[in-house]
Amino acid sequence: MEGWYSDPYDGHEARWISHRTPTSLVRDKTIEGKDPVARRSFSINPVSLEGTSPKDANWCSLADVSDQEVGYDPKEAIWTAWDLYDRRFIGP
């Protein structure tokens, strides 16, 4: 799933969705811009829109990278917990 879709947050005419994830790249008529991805539930279900790729194709890859959050890493969580334990009960 990649392309222009109706903005699931209902703030713009369209939002670029890449790998099923909304990005900050938005479009209203022929004007493209950026609007941060909302940290809330969708207002509407995104529907695929006819259209071209963004005017600046580099925005697609930049949007994909810049909008991704760091995922949960269970191994990192365990190490963090042990680090906190060591600081609390053993000292620096």
* Ramachandran angles phi, psi of 16, nearest 5°: -75, 125
Q: Look at residues 4, 60, 62, 56 and name the one whose alpha carbon lies nearest to residue 28.
A: 4
Beta bridge partners, 14, equal: 27
Q: Global pTM?
A: 0.57
Beta strand spans in 1-92 (E): 2-5, 14-18, 21-28, 31-34
Cα–Cα distance, 11 to 57 (Å, whole number): 22
How far apart are alpha carbons 80 and 72 in whole angstroms? 12
Can you give the length of the chain in residues?
92
The pLDDT value given to residue 62: 47
User: If you average pLDDT over each of 23-27, 39-43, 48-52, 78-82, which comes out highest?
Assistant: 23-27
User: Given a cut of 80, is residue 19 above it in pLDDT?
Assistant: yes
pLDDT at 8 over 50: yes
Question: Which pLDDT tens digit goes with each residue over 29-75?
Answer: 889 999 998 888 888 888 888 766 676 555 555 444 444 455 666 77
